[in-house]
Structure 1
Amino acid sequence: MSVCYDNPVVLDRREGPYGEVVLRRHGELLQIIANGCFLMDTSDGRSERLLVDAALAALDAREQPNVLIGGLGVGFSLAHAAANPRWGAVTVIEREPAVIDWHRHGPLSELSRDALADPRTEIVEADLVEYVHETSDTYDALCLDIDNGPDWTVTEGNDGLYSASGLAGCARVLKPGGVLAVWSAQPSPEFEGTLWNAGFQQVRTEEIPVARGVPDVVHLAVRPG
């Protein structure tokens, strides 16, 4: 008996602290939908891997750096970071309990099982906007994969992370010379200017070609030493 995957199949639907989140399967892909808006799926992961690799490369020869990843998503960033033995510790901040549960006990575990079993990995259930202003921990790199980037946020409150105040919090949790890497669904010259104005240095943008439309990008910036 053949199975038709023309229409997405909802695997789980939950009311979270910030609205409805849905996990669905569309063919071979797993998709996360937030408040009716598509967020991400398991189709590729190139941009998430570049997010992590670009941050690590910008740290030069720093030994066993630790990284804070903002947003668990479908797990590409986490899995890629944990697969690299050069990272000393990998901490992920995720504010949706459902997303964490889908990775620990649900269908997304097939992508993150090895990473979650790695003793260097820690998952923290928290709002990153609040976390960067409250934690006493500091990191060599901060990789942000929150929403769809600085110019197109789906969830109310996420845009505050890309504001001057939010970026001040990001700088606060970075060690001197630490790297901020920000994924975006589209290039944002305005955000580059905001990074400079927030006191970051060596601001640059790397593009990731996509099948159709404008490329994804990773914005990179360094906290002054």
Structure 2
Amino acid sequence: MTASYDIPVVIDRREGPYGEVVLRRHGALLQIIANGCFLMDTSDGRSERLLVDAAYDALDGRAAPSVLIGGLGVGFSLAHAAADPRWGRITVVEREPAIIDWHRDGPLSALSAGALADPRTEIVRTDLVAYVNEISDTYDALCLDIDNGPGWTVTDGNEGLYSEAGLASCARALRPGGVLAVWSAQPSPEFEGTMRNAGFQRVRTEEIPVARGVPDVVHLAVGPG
């Protein structure tokens, strides 16, 4: 017989603007599922923290850099950035109202309450692809974690973000010499090539070992200019 704590329990289920989004508890973990696709859980967070740290380190000591975090998720990247006083403005773009609600007054607030109260933090509820295509503002770093990777998108509309045209939009959202960091559940040499073709420099990939399977990675590059 399977123990009850091994059975995921749905805490909230909503129909959002992009389909169904679910928050469930599995033992001690909280998990986010979008349209039946597992996105992330609260089990670790090492790769989400590396996403932020690697971007900062690549800025070579730039004072109080601003960062755009694409995707709120379970809040690891936001919480880690807000815990570091070296960051300046912290903007998080999240398109799912349910995920924002779970952080503001739901179960995920235990991870992000301090970060959301930080005066440097702003949450923008919109689609990241549209945001980078339309904004006139610029950032020192873009830390993107909205999919399982460039080759494993959650929704078809996200695919354009990882194309040369999408990466060109990311480059326009960066200040000169700014850093783009993209989380992925698996390495993608093809994406590295696309980054170079879009004009990014110092393209590299950092691996994060996992218990089983291929490592998570962070793709890093410095924008033109």
Q: Same fold (TM over 0.5)?
A: yes
* Alpha-carbon displacement from aligned partner over 1:38-75 (angstroms, at most 9, x marks no partner): 11000000000000000000001110000000000000
CA-CA distance at 1:158 after TM superposition: 1.1
* Alpha-carbon displacement from aligned partner over 1:116-160 (angstroms, at most 9, x marks no partner): 000000000010100001111100000000110101112221111
Q: 2:171·2:224 contact (CA, 8 Å) conserved in 1? A: no
Q: Distance in 1 between matches of 2:123 and 2:5?
A: 32
The structure 1 segments of at least 4 consecutive aligned residues displaced by more than 6 Å after TM superposition are: none
Equivalence map 1:55-74=2 (5 Å): 55-74=55-74
Please name the residue that 1:162 is paired with: 162
Q: Distance in 2 between matches of 1:12 and 1:156?
A: 24
Q: 2:203·2:220 contact (CA, 8 Å) conserved in 1? A: yes
* Alpha-carbon displacement from aligned partner over 1:89-125 (angstroms, at most 9, x marks no partner): 1100000000000000100000000000000000000
Q: Which consecutive residues of structure 2, in runs of 5 or more, have no partner in the other structure?
A: none
Please name the residue that 2:86 is paired with: 86
Please name the residue that 1:28 is paired with: 28
Amino acid in structure 2 at the alignment position of 1:141 = A
- Percent of residue pairs bearing the same amino acid type: 83
Equivalence map 1:1-225=2 (5 Å): 4-225=4-225
Q: Distance in 2 between matches of 1:163 and 1:84?
A: 31
CA-CA distance at 1:165 after TM superposition: 1.3
Q: Distance in 1 between matches of 2:5 and 2:160?
A: 38
Choose 4-13 or 178-187, whichever is displaced more.
4-13
Amino acid in structure 2 at the alignment position of 1:45 = G
Choose 146-155 or 120-129, whichever is displaced more.
146-155
Q: TM-score, normalised by structure 2?
A: 0.98
